[in-house]
Amino acid sequence: MKPKVSFEFFPPKTDEGLEKLINVQQKLLKKNPEFFSVTYGAGGSTRDRTWTTVMKVREAGIDTAPHLSCVGQSREELVELIDKYKAAGISRIVALRGDLPSGMGHARSELRYADDLVRLIREVSGDHFHLEVAAYPEMHPQARSFSDDIDHFKRKIDAGANSGVTQYFYNAEAYGFFMEQLEKRGVTAPVVPGIMPITNYANLVRFSDSCGADVPRWIRKRLEELQHDEASLKDFGEEVVTRLCERLLAMGAPGLHFYTMNQAVANLKVIDNLGL
Rounded to 5°, the CA angle 186-165-207 comes to 130
Pairing of β 255-259 and β 130-135: unpaired
Q: Which is nearer to ligand FAD, 210 or 232 (CB)?
A: 210
Catalytic residue list contains 77:
no
Is residue 98 close enough to count as binding ligand FAD by CB under 6 A?
yes
Beta-carbon-side half-sphere exposure of residue 167 (alpha carbons within 13 Å): 24
Q: CA 68: distance to chain centroid?
A: 12
Is residue 40 close enough to count as binding ligand FAD by CB under 6 A?
yes
Is residue 69 close enough to count as binding ligand FAD by CB under 6 A?
yes
Q: Which stretch binds ligand FAD (CB under 6 A): 83-91, 93-101, 226-234, 266-274?
A: 93-101
Helix, coil or strand: residue 68? strand
Q: Which stretch binds ligand FAD (CB under 6 A): 17-25, 26-34, 141-149, 268-276?
A: 141-149
Q: How far is the CB of 270 from ligand FAD (least distance, A)?
A: 18
Is residue 193 close enough to count as binding ligand FAD by CB under 6 A?
no
Q: How far is the CB of 106 from ligand FAD (least distance, A)?
A: 10
Is residue 142 close enough to count as binding ligand FAD by CB under 6 A?
yes
Q: How far is the CB of 91 from ligand FAD (least distance, A)?
A: 18
Is residue 49 close enough to count as binding ligand FAD by CB under 6 A?
no
CA distance 75 to 79: 6
Size of the site for ligand FAD (CB under 6 A): 24
Is residue 143 close enough to count as binding ligand FAD by CB under 6 A?
yes
3-state helix, strand, coil in the chain (%, to 5): 50, 15, 35
Subset of residues 161 to 180 that bind ligand FAD, contact rule: CB under 6 A: 165, 167
Contact 97, 70 (CB under 8 A): yes
Q: Which amino acid is at 2?
A: K
Q: How far is the CB of 103 from ligand FAD (least distance, A)?
A: 15
Q: How far is the CB of 221 from ligand FAD (least distance, A)?
A: 26
Helix, coil or strand: residue 94? strand
Which listed residue (149, 175, 269, 270) binds ligand FAD by CB under 6 A? 149
Q: What is the DSSP letter of 2?
A: P
Residues whose CB falls within 8 Å of the CB of residue 266, separated by 6 or more in sequence, listed in order: 197, 198, 199, 234, 237, 238, 241
Q: Which is nearer to ligand FAD, 119 or 234 (CB)?
A: 119
Radius of gyration (Cα) for the chain, nearest Å? 18
Nearest to 203 by CA among 217, 220, 225: 220
Which residues lie near ligand FAD (CB under 6 A)? 39-40, 42, 67, 69, 94, 96-99, 113-115, 134, 140, 142-143, 148-149, 152, 156, 165, 167, 194
Give the residue numbers annotated as catalytic, written as ranges: 8
